[in-house]
């Protein structure tokens, strides 16, 4: 049986909660499934929750970046939420600061960030304007 990461639809957004260690096949399946779902549901945003991941390696970092880029092409914003401090430090030390991926502390904040972005209140970089 093939393992899959569930993708939940919440209104105009898709919610992905990653709770297991990612390996190549699982990541590719997730990319396939997610792009399919974005097209089918015409989702405006994708929320990826990684709060239960204690270990993130460079592969995982690249995969998150890829998913964000793919969603962007399909006109959906991606927000990664719930990263743990240790994981954030590891990614920075690895030199992967996930440029181009929006982040938020938790699902709630991620959701409000998505709503803001969909309403077009924040500038193109996902950051507050000077």
Partner 1 sequence: MTDGSATAPTRTSEILRQNEQTLLTEWLQQQLSAKAFRSGRLKESELREQSSEFLSAFIRALQSGKIFDPESSAWSEVRDVLGHLSRSRATQGFTSGETATFVFSLKQPVFARLRQELGRDPAALAEETWAISTLIDQLGLYTVDHYQKGREEVISRQQQELMELSTPVVKLWEGVLALPLIGTLDSSRTQVVMENLLEQIVSTGASLAIIDITGVPTVDTLVAQHLLKTVAAARLMGADCIISGIRPQIAQTIVHLGVELGNVITKASLADAFAIALERSGMTVTRLAPRT
Binding-site ranges for partner 1 (CB under 8 A): 80-81, 83-85, 87-89, 91-93, 97-98, 103-106, 109-110, 113, 125, 127-128, 130
Q: For the CB of residue 80, give the shortest distance to partner 1 in the complex, in Å.
A: 8
In the bound state with partner 1, the residue whose beta carbon lies nearer, of 37 and 49, is 49
Give me the residues paired with residue 8 across strands: 15
Bridge-based pairing state of the strands 45-49 and 13-17 = parallel
DSSP class of 14: E
Report the chain's C-alpha Rg in angstroms.
Answer: 14
In the bound state with partner 1, the residue whose beta carbon lies nearer, of 37 and 47, is 47
In the bound state with partner 1, the residue whose beta carbon lies nearer, of 72 and 109, is 109
DSSP class of 48: E
């Amino acid at each position: 049986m093939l393992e899959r990461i569930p993708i939940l639809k919440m209104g105009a957004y898709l919610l992905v909660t990653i709770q297991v260690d990612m390996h190549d096949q699982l990541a590719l399946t997730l990319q396939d499934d997610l792009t399919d779902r974005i097209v089918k549901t015409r989702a405006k945003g994708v929320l990826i929750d990684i709060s239960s991941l204690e270990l993130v390696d460079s592969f995982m970092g690249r995969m998150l970046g890829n998913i964000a880029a793919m969603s962007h092409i399909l006109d959906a914003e991606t927000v990664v939420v719930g990263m743990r401090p240790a994981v954030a430090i590891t990614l920075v030390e690895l030199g992967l600061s996930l440029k181009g991926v929006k982040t938020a502390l938790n699902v709630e904040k991620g959701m409000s960030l998505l709503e803001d972005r969909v309403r077009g209140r924040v500038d193109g970089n996902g950051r507050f304007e000077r």
